A and B are shown apart, each in its own frame.
Chain A
């Protein structure tokens, strides 16, 4: 699986959009981009994933660049409860046993 790089931390004002970038320049053609978040001392929670088209669900939007070398997770109206560590990973679905590489992620602090 390709590796990803993310900023160590970011701050966001409550009610504003939080834009979290992820670089995955070595991504291969069949790898999807997945985003998870982990609230302190809990298990990570799936947010969204995509291949090449932009995706949106009730939690967030995922924007993937045309060359697929980077992506941005957008939380449209951040709340204090969105304060967490956000992980960007790439993987091939339908393939068992991927050694999924979770980096240190981005610590998002939402402030009132």
Chain B
């Protein structure tokens, strides 16, 4: 089945260590996104990518890095520079739709990765 797979689901790391969260999609979507969610809060955009080899900072990009070497993959690295990395991280993808074709624009989300820094 088509979808978005995030791994790992749970991750524990010591303070000062970099950690990379995986996001893979087989929906053939061009655009991919990373969001962060803190308890009781909405989703905040970290980075997004419109196309392979291109990505843009979102609202809270400091302390994070991404790459988009393949259409299917958009990994997120949480670096030691991120002051409060403990959070729930969500990856999403979307396909705005072809001109004249079905107009969806909806986001498809993965199941999330919960990072805890000890």
Contact = CB atoms under 8 A, between A and B. Distances in A.
Nearest to A85: B42
A68 interface: no
B97 A94 contact: yes
A94 B98 CA distance: 8
B109 A44 contact: yes
B105 A32 contact: yes
Mostly, the A contact residues are loop
Given A93-B104, A94-B103, A41 B50 contact: no
A52 B34 CA distance: 29
A97 B43 contact: no
Given A87-B42, A102-B35, A94 B50 contact: no
B115 interface: no
Given A36-B107, A46-B107, A104-B41, A97 B35 contact: no
A45 interface: yes
B56 interface: yes
B31 A97 contact: yes
Given A42-B111, A46-B106, A46-B107, A95 B96 contact: yes
Interface of A: 32, 34, 36, 41-46, 49, 87, 91-97, 99-105
